Amino acid sequence: MNTDTIPASSVSSALTVQGRVIYALVLREVHTLYGNTRLGYLWAIIQTAFNIAVFWLFREFLGAHSRHGMGIGVFLLCGFIPWHMVSDTLSRCMSAVRANQALLTFPQVTELDLMIARVVVVWGTQIICAVVILIMVVSIGQVAELRNPGTLAATLLFAPLLGIGMGLVFASLARLWPTLERLIPIVMRFLFFASGVFFQVSELPARFSDILLLNPVSQIIEWQRYGFSASSAAPMHSIAYIVVWCLGSLCLGLLLERYVRGRELK
């Protein structure tokens, strides 16, 4: 019996073309976001640094200091970077198709390509922000001892995975119920204050922390801080819970994206 098989060369060629498409989209996205201002990438660093400075001063005013061997700058950085990786990826995935409809007239470009390109840009931007701000924090004498490099690497991987997974889900559902495009930003503003970005969820009473830790973003933030922590206490985060959320949302998002692909935006 003869069976049809796809030659390996054809698969390799298709992947090469798709890789070039995504690379071109990444360059276009970077130019669109940062190429029209003189500050460019510096503006992204300024925004994140300003947010950290505001909450740093607020905590100093209240006399709240970070524990477990972390400087307050590192503590806040471990909150803001994962948060931005998730929230920025989610929001930019939701607006990817509407902002680039003209590009979809090219047969090589798919809606998923647009979202992947935006994820790469968000991830790269936040990595650069994290490195620059960490250098600034250390230069002013803050403690920044990375005790578990694997934890840091894992959280920097799972944060954008959760972002694109949830972004695919909500972007696809928004094609069916356009009201979601207005509702999700409101929900994300609430989650900012419920994700432990500027406070330690695990230090709250159990009746509060148990509820807040149902949020996978707060678990990723707790996990990243654990990599810098000198505490011997048992971690509050669950790696299995984070993995299930990331892979589950990604699989569901890909299925929904395929289902709504080609539908006109309302």
Q: For residue 7, give every residue at least 6 positions away whose Cβ sits within 8 Å of its Cβ, in sequence order, or none.
A: none
Q: Return mean pLDDT, the chain.
A: 85
b/e burial code for range 119-131 (CB count within 10 A of at least 16 → b): bbbbbebbeebbe
Percent of the chain at pLDDT > 90 equals 41
Query: Cα–Cα distance between 71 and 225 in angstroms, integer?
Result: 11
pLDDT (tens digit per residue) in 35-51: 766 667 788 888 888 98
CB atoms closer than 10 angstroms to residue 261: 14
Residues 48-74: pLDDT tens digits?
889 888 988 887 777 666 666 678 888
pLDDT of residue 122: 92
Average pLDDT of the segment spanning 102-125: 88
Length of the chain: 266
Question: Residue 222: which pLDDT band, with cuts at 50, 70 and 90?
Answer: very high
State if pTM tops 0.75: yes
pLDDT score of 1 more than 50? no
**81 versus 147: which is more confidently predicted?**
81
Structure confidence at residue 66 (pLDDT): 64
Domain limits, the chain = 12-260
- Residue 26: closest CA among 105, 123, 98: 123
Percent of the chain predicted with pLDDT > 70 = 87
Residue 249 has pLDDT above 90, yes or no: yes
